[in-house]
Chains A and B, each alone.
Chain A
Amino acid sequence: MKSDRRFIDENGKVLMLGNEALVRGCLEAGVSYISQYPGTPTSDIGEYFHQVLRESPDLKEYLVHQWAVNEAVATSSCAGAAWTGVRAFNPMKHVGLNVASDALSVIALNGPNPGAMVIGVGSDPGSLGSHQEQNERFYAWMLHLPTIEPHTPQECKEWVKLAFDLSEKYDLVINLRTSTRSAHSRGFVELEPLIKGKGKGEFIRNIPKFNSLPPHAINNHVRLYERIERLRKAIPDLGLNKIYPGDNKIGIITSGMPFGYTMEALLQLQLYDVPILKLGMIYPLNYQEITNFIQDLEKIIIIEELEPFLEMKISEIAQIKKMNIEIIGSEYFPKFNEFSTGLVATTLANIFHKKPNEQMIKAIDYFNSYKEMIPSRFPTFCAGCPERATLYSILKATNQLENTVVCGDIGCYVMSFFPPQQCSDLIICMSGGLSAAIGMSTKTDQKVLAMIGDSTFFHTGLSPLAEAIGYNSNILLIIFDNAWTAMTGHQNDVLRYLINKDFSIEKVCKTWGVPWLRVEDSYNPKKLTKSIEDALNAKGLKVIIIKRECGLQAHRYRMKQIRRIESQGKKVQEEIYHITGCQMCHECSRILSCPAIRRVEIDGYETMQIDDDRCIRCGVCYQICPNGAIHKSTLNLLCEEVPFRH
């Protein structure tokens, strides 16, 4: 394998994802400090910074990347760094902005100077990797965050550099807003020289600027308006907004990824004369720039995903400037879900009274007619996942959730609600499950169970746990202590640092005085089931910590050990699970539901079969089979045993 030089080379043309290009742009802008909590679609940004620091360790003097415990901490950390006069970057997913907004509302007011601060919000229209979709552009207006929306990886790189310059020049926090689509689309990027960030800065005391309390709060608010107005004036010279001229009396205003869909939709419809204003900066807007574009037009179509932000802001400008023009958008386009070229093309065909491309209509009609026969394939837990095994024990201990409410949360276990297990009744937000359980348990006699993962626990779970202890809430809290932020891709994050420092959830619970506490292993399902039964029969707060490493990581580590031993010419002990005499009771497929088990037909008889390639040897199915049909054999009995690490 060749080494990846895309973050090292000083020039050239390379292929990059939007997120990779953002990182490259930061390195070309002399960024000094990055802090973030992982979350799709921005998790990989931190991984690229870590790659850079691994490849060029001498950069550590100039560049610090920290995985924060949550987004509010990350945002304030970035502000702290920026206030020493350096450039700070703060990526987060769209819902991360909700967590960070409390801090950000003050930081934006104070301003990031003498340094610069850029936040990189990854929006998620279509909820492709999130528990909800929201149009966080409204924060731009509320908190005065100038917002730039790139469309290609080249723009991601160019514009994040520009964002740092603007932040520094106007004392504003700039939002470089991507989406799941633009963050994870690949295109060419022209490299420019790298600039080392400042190694050290210095905080210079400025009480009015950094203490937004009366009377300074109002003064800073006034100053914020002045800063925004200065930027608004400068917009036409920034090169962010671009007009594609045309003679049609109907024009289009759009930005970001919807611009790409729009261009190709017009190509599909053979509409080559529609004038388009592509906005690179969607907040603030320069009034003159907008009125210049719309003044000779009869109708404007605003093409934007989710709630109509631009439609509202452009209608506002038209009203202020007393312009008589029809502005449409959200009455034709959906206000939910992600857009696509096909969707924009069919909608524009309707507006322009054009016939949509025939092959497109045929494709939609033909394949939609077979939708019913396509089986579902939702994301689920990996083979051998300790969380899946825990759900099995919950289902068994509660007789399939009889008189039981399970408050779910964010992490891999967010998938608990999917069939066939369906072991989660509600999801709110990071640590929202435990919080909901506190209130719910005061109002129902049902058994209330809450689940939380270790990373979520440190993110925002400590506070509701303290409250649950305080009130001795009648809840069973199950904490998945799997040692990784698994859902976002096992980042080497703060959780790992805590583990390395021997800081454990068990210690927190013990010190804080959790009245009923057990530590269990979900790879021992019968014992765990019994513990859950005991807990649900007890009153007050009960906590069960499931201590078992993420199956994916444990398996990877174990295979590495095995390969190492085998490369020395030695053999290792090998466990194999196989099924004979299967009664097709479906205990393993419906209640445990491990994807390493497959239903097959052999000689006309149906049986379950274990896929040796996917089975990680957790042994749970072997322990739970009610008919003893799952067997274990051990090969190379006298050779070295390689157990899962614990």
Chain B
Amino acid sequence: MKPIETDIINIVIAGTAGQGVITLKRLIEFAAQKSDVERVFGSEMHGLAQREGAITSHTRYQKKIFKDERRNLQSPLICYGDADLYICLEPVETLRRGIFASQKTTFVLNEYDIPGVMITADLEAYPQLDKIVEILKEYSNNVHTINATKICLNKLNSNLMVNIFMLGYAIPTGKIPFIDVGHYEEVIKDWLRDPDINIKALHLGIDEGKKVNYS
């Protein structure tokens, strides 16, 4: 179903500290502002979560608001089962906060895993990637995986743009509606240190995303 302008758009971004979860959330929000979205309200975590921890951020906006405030975006947190899009920068982090996803949610997932210290110490086990994808596919028909880290290392010689690449990869899903690609480019130029390589990562992602048959 194509979103309409009064819909509340719900995007979950999950990953680990240092992967750029919060940066990605801000980019979408600032691009939404450039696209004249009427309301934005989303939560990000600071503090403890920085240090190797798990990070989830909620990006939410509404292109046109109702006069009746009871129908509008009011909370910076998405309700359980209400996400439209789930951008996952690390496989197991998808499952950790899965409760925000519904069976209609589109998942875009970076296959590259970042095991925590307990995995390295062999005191806990990291689930097989196939198993994670299987669990998601049993739940939703729209699960798309790609090794973004590998592509970024090969083509951009850095894994720092994995977040922007994954944004690009998610754009052709149509689940981040009412925001133009040009607006992302403007925001990248406004807010990021190396805009050229980030814009390159964005388009690399879009090109990969276009190859997918998103339903």
Please report A residues at the B interface, Cβ cutoff 8 Å.
Answer: 1-2, 15, 17, 40-41, 43-44, 128-129, 151-152, 180-182, 184-188, 244, 257, 259-261, 263-268, 272, 340-342, 345, 357, 359-364, 366-368, 370, 373-382, 412, 415, 419-420, 487-489, 586, 589-590, 593, 595, 597-599, 608, 613
Contacts and interface: CB of A to CB of B under 8 A. Distances in A.
Contacts of A368: 99
Contacts of B40: 15, 186-188
Given A341-B75, A341-B78, A359 B45 contact: no
Nearest to A593: B117
Nearest to B100: A363
A373 B134 CA distance: 14
19 contacts: A2-B190, A128-B45, A128-B47, A128-B48, A181-B76, A261-B75, A261-B77, A263-B69, A263-B72, A357-B79, A362-B81, A370-B98, A376-B118, A377-B92, A380-B52, A381-B51, A595-B116, A595-B120, A597-B120
B50 interface: yes
A488 B80 contact: no
Contacts of A373: 95, 127, 131
B51 A379 contact: yes
B109 interface: no
Contact of B33 (A15, A129, A260, A266): A15
B46 interface: yes
A152 B123 contact: no
Contacts of B116: 375-378, 380, 595
A218 B78 CA distance: 50
Given A184-B46, A357-B81, A370 B135 contact: yes
B82 interface: yes
Interface string B65-100: 000011111111111111000000000110110111
A260 B74 contact: yes
A360 B45 contact: no
Contact of A586 (B51, B93, B121): B121
B122 interface: yes
Contact of B47 (A15, A129, A415): A129
B39 A412 contact: no
Given A341-B75, A367-B99, A376 B193 contact: no
Closest 6 CB pairs of A and B: A129-B47, A363-B81, A367-B98, A185-B76, A40-B47, A260-B75
A272 B71 CA distance: 9
Contact of A263 (B70, B126, B159): B70
A608 B120 CA distance: 8
Contacts of A415: 51
B214 interface: no
Contacts, number: 217
A412 B52 CA distance: 12
Nearest to A412: B51
A377 B95 CA distance: 12
Contacts of B46: 40-41, 43-44, 129, 184, 489
B49 A379 contact: yes
A257 B33 CA distance: 23
Contacts of A15: 29-30, 33, 40
Nearest to A185: B76
A369 to B, nearest CB: 9
B43 interface: yes
Contacts of B103: 359, 362
Contact of B117 (A182, A362, A420): A420
Contacts of B33: 15, 188
Interface of B: 16-17, 26, 29-30, 33, 39-54, 69-82, 92-93, 95-96, 98-104, 115-127, 131, 135, 139, 159, 189-193
A589 B120 contact: yes
A44 to B, nearest CB: 7
B131 to A, nearest CB: 8
Given A2-B189, A181-B76, A370-B98, A379 B120 contact: no
A185 B80 CA distance: 18
A410 to B, nearest CB: 12
B193 to A, nearest CB: 6
A394 B30 CA distance: 47
B69 A589 contact: no
A92 to B, nearest CB: 15
B97 to A, nearest CB: 8
A233 to B, nearest CB: 28
A1 B193 contact: yes
Nearest to A265: B79
Given A15-B33, A267-B70, A375 B99 contact: no
B77 A420 contact: no
Contact of B121 (A363, A420, A613): A420
A599 B122 contact: yes
A599 B127 CA distance: 14
B102 A598 contact: no
Contacts of A128: 45, 47-49
Contact of A268 (B43, B79, B125): B79
Contacts of B79: 264-265, 268, 340-342, 345, 357, 360
Given A360-B79, A370-B95, A420-B117, A375 B51 contact: no
A360 B121 contact: no
Contact of B99 (A259, A363, A595): A363
A601 to B, nearest CB: 12
Contacts of B190: 1-2
